[in-house]
Every structure is written in C-alpha cells, then in structure tokens.
Amino acid sequence: MQIAWAPNHGITDSSPSRNPFDGSSGWTYNFNPNVTRSTQLIISEFMADNGSGIKDPLDGKRVDWIEIYNGGNLEVNMAGWHLTDDATNLTKWTFPAVVIPSHGFLLVYATGDNEPTRYLHTNFKLDTAGEYLGLVDPDGHISSEFSPTFPAQSTDVSYGRDAVRFEHRWLLCGGDARQTEFD
C-alpha cells in the first residue's frame, strides 16, 4: 500500500511548537481505513411511491429504490454494509461486494425480494407513510439515516439530500437517479 500526503496537509505534532509533519522516519502514524468511509457514504435519494419512474430491470415493475452516494475520495467496497427500514434491526439487509467509486452513486431496488442476481434488491420496501431508513457500516455504525422516520411521500416525487450540502429536499420527478449496474 502506498500512502501520500497533500503538500499543504497542515499536520503537526501536539507539542507547543507544532512541528510540521514531514513524513520522515522520525514519525509514526496509524492508518485507519474505517474513519473516512463511515462518514462519507450517504443515502442521497430514495423513492417510496414509484408510479412512473425507474423500473426494476429484472421484471419491469416500478419499485421503491434507494440511491447511495460516496462523497469520499476513496472508492468503497460495500460488502458487509447494511440498509434497513427498522431502527431496532440495523443489519436487516446486507450488501454484496460491489464498489462505489469516489463521488459515485449506487442504486438499490427496495423490492422486498432480496433478489441475489445481478441487481441489488433489498428484503424490505419503503412505506409511503414514512418510516425509518438507515445505512449502516460493517462495524454497526450508522453512516446515514432518516430518523425517527422520513416524512410521508407522494407518488413519483423522490426525497433526498443535496449531495454537496447534505440538506433534505424534495426531488421532482425522481427519474434522474443515476442508475448503476454491476456484474
């Protein structure tokens, strides 16, 4: 593994003189790959009442869907991450090994099927009346959630966060979710 530091990293030690980190052998560091991923993945958008939007590629039905956004600078392998609609069961559905690139999106179909083939299908659906929705990392930490519930949803209007400002917003039409396929 190679590690590099930005020229203007601003890292210092904790002494009063704040000696700048130079990467030389006089320093030690610990690399924790879990620090960034747990805070940079969000549920960016979802659809709980799909009347005329994205179709399930397996059977052509219009289904609930959830979009995940990786706001970090590293790709994330989702193996072992979870999505859940139950705050008392944070490991309800587990992702297979699928990679989301840095600043990439992944679309998950919330069909209740847990379809194990080509596309991602959760074992739960989204309640139009509103319910809990969470994204949980392999260590059980909540990375993104709508708590205690997301608000009641309208047909063909998706709900989500601005991927830059992380604010909740209603997203008209909803059909612009970035559809992602994987093999």
Q: Which residue is nearest to Ca ion (CB)?
A: 85
Asked if 133 contacts 124 with a C-beta cutoff of 8 angstroms, the reply is no
- By C-beta, is 70 or 134 nearer to Ca ion? 134
Binding to Ca ion (CB under 5 A) within 50-69 occurs at 64
Q: Contacts for 93-102 with beta carbons within 8 Å, 24 or more apart?
A: 93/122, 93/123, 93/124, 95/120, 96/120, 98/182, 99/75, 99/182, 100/41, 100/68, 100/70, 100/75, 100/76, 101/70, 101/75, 102/70, 102/72, 102/73, 102/74, 102/75
Binding track over 137-166 against Ca ion, x by CB under 5 A:
------------------------------
140 with 84: CB under 8 angstroms? Answer: no
Q: Cis check for the bond before 148: say yes or no (omega within 30 of 0).
A: yes
The yes or no reply on residue 76 touching Ca ion (CB under 5 A) is no
Amino acid letter, 174: G
Q: Which of 83, 100, 120, 126 binds Ca ion (CB under 5 A)?
A: 126
- Taking the least distance from each CB to Ca ion, the nearer of 12 and 89 is 89
The amino acid that residue 132 corresponds to is: Y
Is residue 133 a contact residue for Ca ion (CB under 5 A)? Answer: no
Nearer to Ca ion by Cβ, of 77 and 156: the residue is 156
Stretch that binds Ca ion, among 7-15, 91-99, 119-127, 168-176 (CB under 5 A): 119-127
Q: What are the DSSP E strand ranges found in 15-63? A: 41-47
Q: Which of residues 18-57 bind Ca ion (CB under 5 A)?
A: 48
**Least distance (Å) from Ca ion to the CB of residue 85?**
4
Q: How far is the CB of 130 from Ca ion (least distance, A)?
A: 10
Q: Which of 45, 85, 113, 137 binds Ca ion (CB under 5 A)?
A: 85
d(CA 159, CA 81): 22
Told to check if 127 binds Ca ion by CB under 5 A, we report: yes
List residues binding Ca ion (CB under 5 A).
Answer: 48, 64, 85, 124-127
